[in-house]
Each structure stands twice: as structure tokens, then as C-alpha cells.
Structure 1
């Protein structure tokens, strides 16, 4: 019996998924039915691009602030709320917990209705969740704090997917990595500021609850920016440059008739194997990276540093991401080698874990390597997804599956790390870091597998530079037969990936609910 991989590597008989630049005959007769796969005859003016990007990257500012504050406040929350490390893991993973399922449905809704109305709903939900989380501090109820993070989680995942769609629409495959780099730089800047001021706010006001109310105000600001963006796009941007929803395209194609029939699960079941290869093999890799990241401040505190100093160190290393994210994005666009970076990142993670846990090296050295690892791991994968899906109408669903895998893995490992630490003498982090390093060691070989598949089955499309890829695509006559642009569905690989996702979701929910009670 053939394995999913064997079926993938011999996929000639599998159905073809239409990719960029290959519109159907039905589309060509419609005056107003331009799809996002079809090339825009006129380039989008850079003024529109920059205004849109400035708004879009500001949507999750408040949520990023809240997440960045949790790490420095870990010891405070344990004392004030009388919780264990496993229960802190429940708090830290609450938004990931709910988003082990919701991003898939949310991604399909996003593709169908378009991102504008959905993002407004998301920022409103995040604001409500942030208020619940801040209110929980007043009554010292950690489960209410968890509830606030769960509510925020309903908005976070879809908002992230919408950002990916927006950026891909405005910048295309060419400037994708650079635009993602700017988005990561802003997120890191917010994380830097939030983490550095968490303990000073607590000490300066005499109450740690203000570290939860401040981001609630930022969530309100993000909501207002989102509304302003939608108004700007609907009012000032010409129609031909707007991101068109799948529903709007269906209305155009059917002249408003039987539009409901076009809604189906096809966007989930017809994702190409070239994309499903990523979530189907990453599994716990996102959680493996969190062994160091979430608890870095507490690790440094246990080495004899003051809590405030530890908070400054862990957030100060975000300067590397602020400066490095746009640079890495520009380098990826210019030189390519995305999967090579994915293979390199686990080795840097292991080095960072070893330095912080098993040597007397200054913690900043480990933090620098951990930050570099995050840069060269996450961005290459994110910018590869649109290239591997190559269909704007499936991109929200694709990012939904990706988020579901990542959030399930993060939830599982956050709770596992807490349990492992609680069972370690003096609640040390030695075993936690060993588990994390073992997972990332597997990640190194997964990265090598990606490089092999790229060279053998993807026409080196993920290795190529932006200019080289654009030149090669211009020379392709039959996009459905060239490995660079061909996107096919491999049913065995689809079944395997979705089955693995169901198993991970079931495991994450079981662990979360067990340690919530």
C-alpha cells in the first residue's frame, strides 16, 4: 500500500488545482469578475500599499502587548493568583486552545466574505476579551483570566489570517517577505515595549493589574484603526485594486443567482499537497520553540537576577527582531533559500536552549540566538505558504489549517512544559529544555526534507530569488504541467494531514481541560 509521501511524489494522476495566471474560460467573458489569481494589468500604486500596510499591521497591537506581558509576570501571577506552572501554561495557551479548531472555519469564512467585515468583528472581540482579562485581575480569578484570553482567541486567529491575505494582495509574491518583515518588526517593537514596562508598571503603580488594562486601551485603538482602514479602502481605493471576496466573485459569475451553492468544504479538501506538506510535518515544532521563549524571564530570575532585570533582558532581545525582521525579509526576497533557513533554525534553537540551561554563559547570549532562531524559522515558512497555495481564494483556509496546527501544538507543549517543570526538583527548567531541544532536532531533518522536495518536485521555486522566480514564471507556457506552478491535490496526503490535525486538536483540548479544572 502506498504511503502519503509516495503518492505525493508520483502525483501525475491527481486532480489539478488552478493556480495563479490560469483563469478559466468562464471568467474571461465577465467584465467585472477579475480574480485575485489573475494578474492585475495596472500595478497597485505604492501610496495605497504603504497606507494599507500601516493600517493592517496595527490591527493586533493590543493583543501582542498582552502576550508579551505574560512572560515577565509569570512569577507575579503564580504568587498573586496562587497557581502552579501547569495552570500558568493554561493561561498562556488559552488563546491557542480555542484556535486549535476555529481558524479552519474562520479561514473559510474569511475567503468567502472577504477580510473587511471579518477583521472588524475580530478587533471588537479582541477588545471585549482584553476587558474580561483585565477585570479578572480585580477579583483574583485566574479562570476568568483564562476566559478573557479564550474570548480574545476567537478574534486573534482570523485576524492573523486576514493580515496574511491583505499583505499577499497588496504586495504579491514579489515584496511578500519584506512586507512580512515590517509586520514582524512592529510586533516585536510592541512586544519589546510591553515586556520592558510590565514590571515597572507593576512596581510604579503598586498593582500589577495595570499591565492588563493598558493593552485593553490599545485593543480599542486597534479596533478604531481597523474601521478607518475599511472606510479608506471602500472610499478612496479604486475598485480594480481592492481585494475581492470569493462571494463577490460568485455573485459576478452567477449575476446574483444561487450564490449559496458555491459555499462548500472544497477549499479545505482541495488544498494542494505542496502546501499540506508543511503543516503535515511540522506537528509540534511551534510548541518546541516555546520551551525557552515563554519562560525565559523566569529562567533568568532563577539564575539569580532580579525579576525586573530578567524582564528587561527577555524583552530587550526583541531589538534583534525589530531590526532583523525587515532585513531577513529583504534577503529572502533577494536571495531565496527559504527552506534552507527552515533547516538551519532548529540548530540555532538547540544552541540557545543549551546556553541558557546548561552553561554559565550570560543569559543575553542565549536570548540573542533564540531571537535569531525565531526570525529565520517563522518568516520563511509564512512567506512560502502563499507560494505553495497559489490561490487567493484558498489562502485564508490554508492559513487557518496552519494556525490550527501551530495552536494545537503550542497548547499541548505549554501544558506539557508546565507539568514537566512541576515534576522537576526545585522546579528547574533542565528537563523542559531537553524536551524542547529534542523536538527541534527532529525539525532539522524536516527542514532537509523540505529542501529535497523543493529541488525534486517544486522546480526549486522556494529556493529561487524573487527575480529568478518571476523570470521563470514568465517563460512557462503550460502552468499546469511545470513543477514551479503546478498545484495538485493528493488525497492520501490530505487524509493524513487532516487526521493528524484532528488527533492534535483532541490531545490539546484534553490536556487543557484537565489542567483547567
Structure 2
């Protein structure tokens, strides 16, 4: 039975953290707020959870291998396919465009059918798109490559959400979710590093850059094998076990829901949108910077594309070992907003160096700082999104909103920076100013979040450790009840942010189609 030692709600959004230090018994709560007993429920044992992590991580390793090869060969692709910076930006933006169109739909479907099914279908489509991209590289067809990238994006859309949806159904916030994220992201970085650093070597040694994309096809075959194994594993697990319970809130986690609940998408907590504001600037800045990092290294260091690819790959993936450690730190000690602030400040330092100290030494220093800073972002952002939500049944849709937002920003920033670079005689002197502005906004948001966390418990709970989440579980349950009842202010904020995201998405579509149709920014 649930403890009756409850904290009365006095002011919405506020609470005294010191009022409750007791560890109450866990009561199971499902997605609609009803309660039930934990008796009869058998949670998956640790060895099954570890096997799920290994399989999903293996899937991520294969897909990440091909994620960075296009940006690593920017100079080669522009030369071999006879395209300029703006056209290359449109090539990269083609996937972003498809993501903004279909990602939200994919998130809703993933919440309904489950992560394992979505991964299976998505990887099949992704492999077909990879074959078409390789064929386009073989025939040197720019338009054909855009078509292949669009089809490949359809598969990528399904798998991006599905992997983390699986993790959210096996692990609760502060109870393994961040550690699992960190491990998967760390191994994924190894795969991406291998692909990005070897891309130009393969192109040089074989004499045809198309071989890089054909090898990516072979890696996708490995990914499909791992996907089938995980699908089979999940079906067995669903028959043997009945679910995992969040020890802090008593919520029973599930991989899929019985029905679509679009209403919940329009009523996400304001803290979710606060984390989204940080991600909008920081994630987009890092992605677009990394798209151009290899060519930037070629220009600043005066070296070959092979050596430059090693520099940029090192800047992106050198800190892979740190990502799992960060996940464990967040699970045990919390401090998610603090991690976001440190990430933003270090990113700002790195982009300032690359912008204002445009010497060999300054650029090398910026790459070094960036290598550490970029690894501080993904895990706390994703874990903060999950932790801020009172209902995990729509986590897939919530994460899909994040990806949609980031890709909409990517389209706009990529096309604008591509045009700026063409007008600046292929130099990065003016483009880097855009990077500084983006991460500067991220720093401002993170500092604001730190300040607001002192006042609002809904935001402050992102700082709580595993122990505090459990001992203060009554606060979380009370806040969920207040949220479920709803308030006009809360729903207005959520709806306003959702509409703003739609406006941003439509703006990115306009930028993309304007660039395709007219060749202008």
C-alpha cells in the first residue's frame, strides 16, 4: 500500500525539498494515473537488461559508422560531383528536411507499436537508401544522391527514436537510464570515428570515393542482423516479464501503449520545453560545425583531406570514453542542468577560439576544447527530457519533437552558412560567427535554467541524485497529480511552444525549397 505521509501542495511549481526525507513504498502507476500493486509483477533481471543494451548498442555502432562519412569527404564530394558549398548544404539538408516532415509521426507510431518493431522496419528502409546513395556516388549523380539520402532518412527517422524508447522502457531516470544512454552513445562514437577517419583513406586507396558508401552498405547488413536478433530477444522478454517499475514514482514502464494519446503531446511539461530551448542552440551548432570541421581543418592546418579527417574525427569522438562515465555520474548524482551549463560554456570557448583565433594554434586549441565539450551535451539533454516528463508513455513522441526541432534548425543554419561561405570565397572566417552566436544563446539558456531551478521544484528535480529522487518521491507524486489536473497557464505554455516549433519547422521547409528552386538563400 502507498504511504499516506504526503506533502500538501501549496504553490504550484514550488516545494520545500527538506519536508520529506523518508523512503516510501513503491506503488505501481500506469499511464492514466491509476494505481496497482507490484505483487505479481516480475521485472527483467539484470542480465536481460544488459543483453538489451548490448544488442541495441551493436545496432547503433553499425548505423553510426556511416553517419559521418559524407561530412568527412566534403571536399572530395564537391570535387568529384562538381557541386558548390550551397549544393552540398542542400545535400545534407535533404535528410534534415525528411526528418522535420515525418519525425513527429514516427515518434507517435513508435510509442504505439514499440521500439523493437520500429527498429526492425527502420533499418530495412535505411539499408535500401544506403544502396541508392552508393549507386549515386558510383554514377556521380547529385540528384540521385539526394533521392537516396531522402529514402535513407526514412529509415533513420524510425530508428533514431526507437533506440531510446527501448531504453526508457527498461530503465527509469536515475536508475540506469543515463548510464545506458552513455554506454550506447560512447560505443556509437567509436563506430562514427571509425567511419569518419577511414573515409578519405578508403577513397584514396581504392581510387574511387564510391567505395566508402559501398562499405557503409556492408556495415548496414551487420546492423540488420543485430536488429533481427534484438527483435527476437524482445519478443521473448515480453512473454517472460511484465515490466519495470520506476522506484521513485511507482510508474510502470512500458515499451508501447495501447492507444494513441495525441492530447498528451500538446500538454508536455514546461520543463521539457526549457531543456528543448538549450538543445535548439547547442545541438544544432555542434552538428553544423562538425559537418564542416574536416574542410575547416584542411584550410586552417594546410593539410590533406585524410589528415584533416583525422583531426575532425578526433575532435568529435576523442572523448568517447567520457560519455559512459557521465551517464553513471548523472544516474548517481544528478546535476543535469549543471552539466548543460558546463557544456554550453566550453562550447562557447571552443567556437570563440575557432572564430577569433583563426591561426593554426587557435584552431588546434578550439578542436581540443570542443572534443571535451561536445561529449557533455547528448546524455544530459536526453536524460533531462525523460526526467522532466511525468508520463513515460509519450517519451518517443517527446524525443521526436527534439529531433524535429534540431533538424529544422540544421536546415536553416546549413543553408545560410553555405551561402555565407560561397560569398566569402570558401573561407570560414564569417561562418564561424554564426557558431559563436548559437552557442552563446545556449549559454544564456543554461544559466537561466540554473537560476530558475532554485525557485521551481519541477526544474530543480533535474538536479536530484538517485537517492533524492527516491526519498523525495512524495514530492514527485504530488507534482504529477497537480500536472494531471492541469492548469490554464501550464497548458498555454505547452501549446505555445508546440506552435512555435511548427512555425520553426515551416520556416526550415521554406529555406529548403527556396534553396532548391532558386539556388538562393
TM range (shorter): 0.7 to 0.9
Q: 1:324 aligns with which of 303, 311, 322?
A: 322
- Structure-2 change in CA distance of 1:307 and 1:488 (3 Å): farther
Query: How is 1:352-501 mapped onto 2 (pairs within 5 angstroms)?
Result: 352-359=350-357, 360=359, 361=361, 363-424=363-424, 426-458=425-457, 460-473=460-473, 478=478, 480=480, 490-501=490-501
- CA deviation vs aligned residue, 1:228-271 (integer Å, no higher than 9, x gap): 11112213561314874555xx4xxxxxxxxxxx4452232232
Gaps in structure 1 of 5+ consecutive residues: 1-8, 13-18, 251-261
Structure 1 window deviating more from structure 2 (447-456 vs 82-91): it is 447-456
Q: Residue 240 of structure 1 corresponds to which residue in structure 2?
A: 242
Asked if the contact 2:114–2:166 (Cα under 8 Å) also holds between the matched residues in 1, the reply is no
- Structure-2 change in CA distance of 1:346 and 1:244 (3 Å): closer
Asked if the contact 2:75–2:295 (Cα under 8 Å) also holds between the matched residues in 1, the reply is yes
- Structure-2 change in CA distance of 1:40 and 1:208 (3 Å): farther
Structure 1 window deviating more from structure 2 (57-66 vs 280-289): it is 280-289
2 CA distance for matches of 1:467 and 1:272? 23
2:289 equivalent to 1:292: yes
Q: Residue 265 of structure 1 corresponds to which residue in structure 2?
A: 262
2 CA distance for matches of 1:202 and 1:337? 44
1 CA distance for matches of 2:387 and 2:365? 35
2 CA distance for matches of 1:486 and 1:313? 53
Asked if the contact 1:62–1:216 (Cα under 8 Å) also holds between the matched residues in 2, the reply is no
Cα-Cα RMSD: 2.8
The count of corresponding residues between Structure 1 and Structure 2 is 481
1 CA distance for matches of 2:243 and 2:261? 27
Query: How is 1:45-444 mapped onto 2 (pairs within 5 angstroms)?
Result: 45-173=45-173, 174-235=175-236, 238-241=240-243, 244=254, 246-247=256-257, 250=258, 262-279=259-276, 282-303=279-300, 304-359=302-357, 360=359, 361=361, 363-424=363-424, 426-444=425-443
- Structure-2 change in CA distance of 1:40 and 1:406 (3 Å): farther
TM-score (norm 1): 0.86
- Structure-2 change in CA distance of 1:194 and 1:354 (3 Å): same
Structure 1 window deviating more from structure 2 (126-135 vs 151-160): it is 151-160
- Structure-2 change in CA distance of 1:179 and 1:264 (3 Å): closer
Asked if the contact 1:158–1:400 (Cα under 8 Å) also holds between the matched residues in 2, the reply is no
- CA deviation vs aligned residue, 1:140-191 (integer Å, no higher than 9, x gap): 1112212212112122233121111111222221112111111111111011
- Structure-2 change in CA distance of 1:138 and 1:307 (3 Å): same
Structure 1 residue 11: deviation in Å? Answer: 7.1
Asked if the contact 1:60–1:219 (Cα under 8 Å) also holds between the matched residues in 2, the reply is no
Structure 1 residue 321: deviation in Å? Answer: 2.7
Structure 1 residue 475: deviation in Å? Answer: 7.4
Gaps in structure 2 of 5+ consecutive residues: 1-10, 15-25, 245-252
Structure 1 residue 318: deviation in Å? Answer: 4.2
Structure 1 residue 477: deviation in Å? Answer: 6.7
1 CA distance for matches of 2:97 and 2:90? 9
Asked if the contact 1:279–1:497 (Cα under 8 Å) also holds between the matched residues in 2, the reply is no
- Structure-2 change in CA distance of 1:432 and 1:272 (3 Å): same
2 CA distance for matches of 1:346 and 1:131? 38
2 CA distance for matches of 1:153 and 1:202? 24
